[in-house]
Structure 1
Amino acid sequence: MSTSILVVDDEPDLEMLLLQKFRQQIRDGSLRFLFACDGVDALAVLAANNDVDIVLSDINMPRMDGLSLLAKLQQRDEDLSTIIVSAYSDMANIRTAMNRGAYDFVTKPIDFPDLEATIVKTIHHMEALREAQRRQSAAEQARASLSRYFSPNLAERLANSADDALDLGGKRRDVASLFTDLTGFTTLVETIEPNVLGQLLNDYIVGMTDIVFAHDGTVAKIIGDALHVLFGAPVDQPDHASRAIACSFALDAFALSFREHWCRKGIALGHTRIGAHAGTAVVGNFGGGKFFDYSAYGDTINVAARLEAANKSLGTRICVSGSLAANMQGFCGRPVGDLLLRGRTEPIRAFEPLEGESYASGATQAYMAAFEELQTGDPHAVASFAALVGRNPEDPLAGFHLKRLMNGEFSTTINLKNYH
């Protein structure tokens, strides 16, 4: 890499001496010298050559001296380093020059070995400074990209991290995968004005992602109104299951409030459905340096998506897997049943998670007793679920099981293909 040095001095012999002393570096291309006789001439040379790295300037010169030149360079905010040349007895001016941004100085008469060492030191300083600027720029670009996916704290940590959490390619991790979907959105797109749709969708996505980030989740995908969220990636979160459940509750509460807000404006929104599952998945940046796409793949991801869709048949808003429930200490929820999901041959136990007060209610305990009867094949399950529906017709999950029982399905195994 070549370094360009502008020498500013009114002594005509200096140019010849420098070219002779540094002839080897000039020949191999590592150094390039430009010359100016004073500050005015130097500014003109700098205007015509934007690749100057170092200014080597005398202090005492006609028209514009070295100190005035330093002041001009500070005003221009030039990305270069300055070495001042002056007599040793002129220490007051040397101090002034250092205060005005000069990096170093050499004294007259010039000791060329000392000048060479000073130039080498200045080049190393300049390279270190530019590397720091490059790293800062890269970190700022990384933060801008990462902020689309990660919470501010996590984005800052990843942007400044030296580890390979976001290297190209995938890693297998234990994660909790969460999907959301706003029902009826496709129909809504066809029925409302684009400007209203834009505001609605933007407010919805911002609200949902803010909640995800508040729980330190990672937004792996946003497609229209739908979100795919990860916990446990790109950094380990031992409590990823608890975070997924807590986030599900917060997302559900926001979605209900958002729905009510827009319904009051005369726009009927559907419910937001949420599905979540815990297991291993391959996660990583699969897009490369120019296109950042942090994604996750595997059965864990597919199951979470299927559980989100299962809410439509079950009548629930949140449906999570037994493995997610098992990974959360103190999980509270109603068992849904053993779901046969598309693409799987073995059923998976699913739950409707509940917050503590709802779980402790008499209605929930009555449901648990009725579900136990269903699980053991007790014919009394029909009466128990009928009583639940009679007391609370707004309980869609109890109504779902009652319909199944009335159709002779005395089993907790639920083939969702039969309920499309």
Structure 2
Amino acid sequence: MAKILVVDDEADLELLVKQKFRRKIRENIYEFVFAQNGEEALEKLGQHPDLDIILSDINMPVMDGLTLLTKLSEANPTIKAVMVSAYGDMQNIRMAMNRGAYDFVFKPVDFEDLDLTMEKTIRHVRQLQQTLRAIKENNILKMYVDENVLNFMTHKEFENNLMRNEVQEATVMFVDICEFTAITEHFPANTVVNLLNSLFDKIVKEIIGQEGHVDKFIGDAVMAVFKGENHLQRALDAALSIKNQIKTSKEITGTSKTFKPEISIGINSGEMVSGNIGSVSLKRLDYTVIGDSVNTAQRLQSAAKPGQILVNQQVFMQVKEAFQFQKIGEVLLKNKALPATVYEVLE
């Protein structure tokens, strides 16, 4: 879907645009946002960072279209403007082009021509967005990967090393943000993503603080692995810290729902296989851990209620002197033939 901002002080234009493009609006090809002058358009750009193109008049009160053009690169570097104006003299066209306009359409508007111009402009914007995304991904890779490693990744030896695996003792923790999927229906997309990232930030800081590493983000859940000395104790300390941190998060209120963040956690410790899982031919692999110990940790998290940290009998026996527990009882975990005795970590 392309998101288009229409900027014009003519009151009838909004209705006319909605009528002329009703089929594409209904089919989710176009989504329109409207503003009556350049100043209001900048406010809309702040509210809708996912806008693709602008259709703007030139002569408007408060802030005209030519002034708006000079401010677009600051507001959104990939957005492109098509000027739609009755002022079709060469001086206005030259001024608009010099200030960054992508194209020019005259009033009265030929909507078939406008549609073709919009399609062309949207294709151009999509190419810009893809290029910026590729540059960003490449720069992020350079931030985390040494240049020698990048060169090594192009060699055949890299593919051979990718398939080397090992068995090791470690602790796995799954942290799920409870009922988070439900809020996507009640809050704007940007609010949902920003909230999820802020909660992940709190979770990740506590994991790193206990020398664990984040294995992956799975939707609204985090999988973390703790290795080395006292890995189980460090995982439990991290879980308790995460629980306390999330408690301090403020609730947010939407149009019809209030959301107070809560987490559920499952932890298990034991032997697991560590290695690169994925497709070598696509060069898309995750260095991760797999095995029954990992699966059990995830099942324990699924069984946990909001605010609970659950472990099984084996983990309880290893650290019962160092932490406070409350016995929950026998719970049937998914894909397990026999019930497991489960404990909640309290302190």
With normalisation by structure 2, the TM-score equals: 0.49
Of Structure 1 and Structure 2, which has the larger fraction of its residues in strand?
2
Larger helix share, 1 or 2: 1
Structure with higher Rg: it is 1
Higher RCO (C-alpha under 8 Å, 6+ residues apart): 2
Return the TM-score normalized by structure 1.
0.41
